[in-house]
Structure 1
Amino acid sequence: MSYEIITLSAYRTIGLKWEGTFSEIVPNLKNVIQQVEDRADELENKVNPNVQLGLSYHLIENGFVHYAVYEVSEEQEIPKGMIEIWVPEWTYVKTTHNKGEDVQKTYTDLNQWLFDSDYTAFREAGVDYYDPYMPIKHEHYPVDRDSNDPHFNIYIPIVKK
Structure 2
Amino acid sequence: MNYEIAKIPAYRAVGLKWEGTFSEIVPNLKNVIQQMEDRAGEVDGKVNPNVQLGLSYHVIENGFRHYAAYEVSEEQEIPDGMIEIKVPECTYVKTTHNKGEEISKTYTDLHKWLFNSDYTAYREADVDYYDPYMPIKHEHYPVDRDPNDPHFDIYIPIVKKIN
1:35 maps to which residue? 35
For residues 63-105 of structure 1, give each alpha carbon's deviation from its aligned partner in whole angstroms, at most 9, with x where no partner exists.
0000000000011000000000010000000000000000000
Structure 1 counterpart of 2:82, which letter? M
TM, length-normalised to structure 2: 0.98
Structure 1 counterpart of 2:42, which letter? E
Q: Which runs of 4+ in 1 moved over 4 A?
A: none
1:97 maps to which residue? 97
- Per the alignment, in what secondary structure is the counterpart of residue 80 of structure 1? coil
The yes-or-no answer on 1:12 pairing with 2:9 is no
1:49 maps to which residue? 49
1:61 maps to which residue? 61
1:83 maps to which residue? 83
Identity of aligned residues (%): 83
How far the C-alpha of 1:151 sits from its partner, in A, is 0.1
For residues 118-157 of structure 1, give each alpha carbon's deviation from its aligned partner in whole angstroms, at most 9, with x where no partner exists.
0000000111000000000000000000000000000000
TM, length-normalised to structure 1: 1.00
Instruction: Specify every segment of 5 or more residues in structure 1 that has no aligned partner in the other structure, as ranges.
Output: none
For residues 16-46 of structure 1, give each alpha carbon's deviation from its aligned partner in whole angstroms, at most 9, with x where no partner exists.
0000000000000000000000000000110
Structure 2 counterpart of 1:68, which letter? A
Number of residue equivalences: 161
- Per the alignment, in what secondary structure is the counterpart of residue 115 of structure 2? helix
- Per the alignment, in what secondary structure is the counterpart of residue 28 of structure 1? helix
**Distance (whole Å) between structure 2 residues aligned to residue 122 and residue 77 of structure 1:** 30
- Per the alignment, in what secondary structure is the counterpart of residue 56 of structure 2? strand
**Distance (whole Å) between structure 1 residues aligned to residue 75 and residue 124 of structure 2:** 28
CA-atom RMSD in angstroms = 0.3
**Distance (whole Å) between structure 2 residues aligned to residue 158 and residue 14 of structure 1:** 23
Structure 2 counterpart of 1:148, which letter? N
2:107 maps to which residue? 107
